[in-house]
Structure 1
Amino acid sequence: MRFGCIADDFTGGSDIASFFVKGGLSTVLYNGVPEANEDPKADVCVIALKTRTQETKTAVKDSLEAISWLKKKGAQQFYVKYCSTFDSTPEGNIGPICDAVMKVLDVPYTILCPALPVNGRTVKSGNLYVNGVPLHESPMKNHPLTPMWDSDIVELMGTQSTFPSMKLSRSINKEELENYIENVTKETDASHFYLVPDHDKDKDAEKIIQLFGDLKLITGGSGLAEPLAKMHNESVQTGISGKSKSPALILAGSCSEATRNQILEYQLSGGESYFMDPNKLLSGEDSVENIWNVIKENKGKSILVYSSDTPKNVKKIQEQGIESVAEKLENATADLAERAVNSGYNRIIVAGGETSGAVTKRLGYSGYHIGESIAPGVPIMIPTHDIQTRIVLKSGNFGESDFFIRALSSI
């Protein structure tokens, strides 16, 4: 195993796994820390956790458990993957997790690089942008779980981490790096620290990897995975391919603008859909049983079931208690996915990180072969013990407006 990677949720795990595959490295993705006797025969092993929104102490504990497992399995380098839109909350988990991993691996410094230019996430002068708009001015400022209140990565880490962070000059080269690191160590008198490189073009990733590709620990989004894989590519990627002829169930729980546009495009194309109204589920006016009957009445055709809504409407619903609403929706979505797979639906497409986590946990698949990507960061996944099934999990903000249509034609 060349790389051991931990990701903050399942869609984040499939996202970075897809880029390792694109770079030419065989990759296996696990849902949670595998059993001790599991033997991942791949260049890269990605462990998807639930640390994006977990309580911090639990998130750190789970992260260290995963790193320990990867070390025992022979990982030579490590990657902490977090969301490409970071986390603006002072109580965010990125800082505590990266601090803990840096200490346990005994590395003096690493980089913070959440960029993924191909999906509009860029870092310029240490500030994070979404499609050219500063993070805290983008639609992500209204994210229901991790609202984005700042775009300066150094400032964001200042509230989360116990170690200093500093912006790295774009002009620095390999020859200058050693002296620069030595000076930073003296000036900060810190045992550990972070560097924030600019990454607003795809070619920037190649330079970052030239500078830092040999680090024992790298942290960031998935934007560095492909050039990192190419740097170490020693194998020929062979995936499991082939399409399924079964009907598909599409489940959308993300309330991002991108997913809402994808739902609209799917509906305008003539695709069948059903709105899973949170209020009706909470009141008992609607139920999983009723929704499943609607799916069955569709007579084996593909159908989209969605709870995605505007931030304004989501906020109104959350006034009834965010935990009860989220739990109800996640359980309902997972129930539908389980019924579908048990009824011969071999194509499952899910939009939204939390929704994907609930679905994969319920389906119980522990490992996945990573295949080709439908969109950047969104691969086709084949369960290692059920190679007839095709699963696509996408982060809410990923994909063009025709994503669901393209996904159906690809799997």
Structure 2
Amino acid sequence: MALLFGALADDLTGGMELAAMLVAQGVRCGFVTHPSALDALPRDIEAAVIAGKTRVVPAHEAVQAFAEGARALQARGVRQLFFKYCATFDSTDAGNIGPCADVLREMTGARFTAFCPSFPEAGRRVFQGHLFADDMLISESPKRFDPLTPMLDPNLVRTLQRQTATRVGLLPQQVVHAGVQAMRTHVAQLQAAGVGFAIADAAEPDDLAALAALTWDWPLMTGNSSIGAYYPAHWRRNGWLAQAPADQALPPVAGPAVVLAGSCAGRSIEQLRAFALHRPVLWLDMVRALEGADVVGEALAWALPLLEAGPVAIATSADAAEVERVQARAGKLGAAALAEEVLGRLALRLRDAGVRRFVISGGETSGAVLRHLDVNRLVVGAYEGPGVARAVTDDAREARLALCLKSGKLGPADMLLPMLQSMAHGG
């Protein structure tokens, strides 16, 4: 059967969150990390998410990956393509949000689409085109210190316009509040003025519901995962989706458990400190790794004797001063690549040593870990809250793994240990 919805996500954690939101609404949703893995998914799924590691790669590589993913989804007859990016609009003036949206617009023939990064549940809101993190403009929040995609301009119309030749406009909150017909009129006016992209204001869940009512049947839509949760109700009303929700409970997975954290977000460090109140945490020194120390072997030797007593955490996460120290030696991209390589290699050795449950903190880290584990498809469980989505592997060749791929910026402070414990019970 043809897919109702096909999403291309620019990182693993966000892609899993979107899939989990659809699963929670009773949608049979497949999740893969490469377009080639789509063929291994059941033919009766209604949605699919392809989540790649494209957020901070060179723009031409991201565009190529998105084009390949779009072709694969179009081959499955997809009704709507969706570009999923972070609620903090993680990008730079070189991309990759603008260039990837451009190629999808060309491939779908869409004259117009909207950008809806808002995630009110996580405190990310857009008002008059400006992005807020809780009560602060994004440019005044800790996001301004992001080592790879710092947000220094809160005006998303300006931010996106620097990334694309397509003219960018605004779908303001007063129009969103006026209803679907008012929004359609505004969109027609923007199109008449030569605008092809528009930032959509959304400060509350009702705004997301209104925007979903406008966009659920568009050939192309972009945004954070949050708006995706509102689409299944429209599919059901129009007879595209079965009324009875699909049951997609995850099986329990026993065995040793580990947290691997690469995110340097303040919330990630807070979560690791909360974990450390109960179980050991090893903070890896990336300068030593740069100097040739076998930090992977050292971490493995530290972890294995402790796992009999319970989970452990191993982190390359660090505060801003430590990140700057490593970047001074390796550069921004080099420092990030080193941390991802270390945790990816460590994940493989831990898996081979019998670890079966993982929480991976950070979108780029998650991509590196799945690549090293040679995992290209997952069965995703129902959404549990911002940054809290989990999955199991589905490969008869290997023992089943339970995975939580989480955004470094999201999730409760005390989530790490309870998440690992819950994987043993399924759900």
Q: Which residue of 1 aligns with 2:246?
A: 237
Matched-pair contact (CA < 8 Å) for 2:26–2:247: no
Matched-pair contact (CA < 8 Å) for 1:112–1:194: yes
Deviation per CA, 1:56-113: give whole Å up to 9, x if none.
Answer: 1111111011000000012111100111111352112101110111111101101110
Deviation per CA, 1:10-33: give whole Å up to 9, x if none.
Answer: 112112111111222111110122
Deviation per CA, 1:27-59: give whole Å up to 9, x if none.
Answer: 111012225743443111000122210111111
Deviation for aligned residue 1:183: 2.5
**Structure 2 CA distance for aligned equivalents of residues 100 and 294 of structure 1:** 47
Q: Which residue, out of 374, 380, 394, partners 1:370?
A: 380
Superposition pairs of residues 289-328 of structure 1, within 5 angstroms: 289-300=297-308, 301-322=310-331, 323-328=333-338
**Structure 2 CA distance for aligned equivalents of residues 288 and 185 of structure 1:** 54
Matched-pair contact (CA < 8 Å) for 2:9–2:84: yes
Stretch moving more, 146-155 or 168-177: 168-177
Deviation for aligned residue 1:286: 4.5
Distance 1:299 1:254, change over 3 A: closer
Superposition pairs of residues 61-76 of structure 1, within 5 angstroms: 61-76=64-79
Matched-pair contact (CA < 8 Å) for 1:374–1:407: no
Distance 1:289 1:194, change over 3 A: same
Distance 1:303 1:377, change over 3 A: closer
Deviation for aligned residue 1:259: 0.3
Superposition pairs of residues 19-30 of structure 1, within 5 angstroms: 19-30=21-32
Distance 1:73 1:40, change over 3 A: farther
Q: Which residue, out of 184, 187, 191, partners 1:185?
A: 191
Distance 1:243 1:313, change over 3 A: same
Tell me whether 1:283 sits opposite 2:291 in the alignment: yes
**Structure 1 CA distance for aligned equivalents of residues 355 and 130 of structure 2:** 43
Tell me whether 1:409 sits opposite 2:417 in the alignment: no
Distance 1:311 1:38, change over 3 A: same
Structure 1 gaps of 5+ residues are none
Stretch moving more, 136-145 or 18-27: 18-27
**Structure 1 CA distance for aligned equivalents of residues 412 and 183 of structure 2:** 38
Structure 2 gaps of 5+ residues are none
Matched-pair contact (CA < 8 Å) for 1:381–1:392: yes
**Structure 1 CA distance for aligned equivalents of residues 22 and 337 of structure 2:** 32
Identity of aligned residues (%): 28
Count of equivalent residues: 407
Matched-pair contact (CA < 8 Å) for 1:23–1:228: no
**Structure 2 CA distance for aligned equivalents of residues 299 and 123 of structure 1:** 44
Matched-pair contact (CA < 8 Å) for 2:138–2:151: yes
Matched-pair contact (CA < 8 Å) for 1:16–1:377: no
Matched-pair contact (CA < 8 Å) for 1:374–1:406: no
Matched-pair contact (CA < 8 Å) for 1:14–1:377: no
Deviation for aligned residue 1:171: 3.4
Structure 2 letter corresponding to 1:249: V
Matched-pair contact (CA < 8 Å) for 2:112–2:191: no
**Structure 2 CA distance for aligned equivalents of residues 336 and 391 of structure 1:** 15
Deviation per CA, 1:361-406: give whole Å up to 9, x if none.
Answer: 0111111111133432431111121573210110110101101022
**Structure 1 CA distance for aligned equivalents of residues 400 and 91 of structure 2:** 40
Q: Which residue of 1 aligns with 2:402?
A: 390
Deviation for aligned residue 1:185: 2.5
Aligned-partner SS, 2:329: coil
Aligned-partner SS, 1:224: helix
Q: Which residue of 1 aligns with 2:20?
A: 18
Structure 2 letter corresponding to 1:156: T
Q: Which residue, out of 8, 11, 18, partners 1:9?
A: 11
Q: Which residue of 1 aligns with 2:273?
A: 264
Deviation for aligned residue 1:240: 3.8
Structure 2 letter corresponding to 1:65: E
Tell me whether 1:346 sits opposite 2:349 in the alignment: no
Matched-pair contact (CA < 8 Å) for 2:10–2:51: yes
Stretch moving more, 18-27 or 362-371: 18-27
TM-score normalised according to structure 2 size: 0.91
Tell me whether 1:82 sits opposite 2:88 in the alignment: no
Q: Which residue of 1 aligns with 2:366?
A: 356
Distance 1:390 1:158, change over 3 A: same
Q: Which residue, out of 29, 35, 49, partners 1:46?
A: 49
Superposition pairs of residues 147-158 of structure 1, within 5 angstroms: 147-158=150-161
Deviation for aligned residue 1:284: 3.3
Stretch moving more, 172-181 or 315-324: 172-181
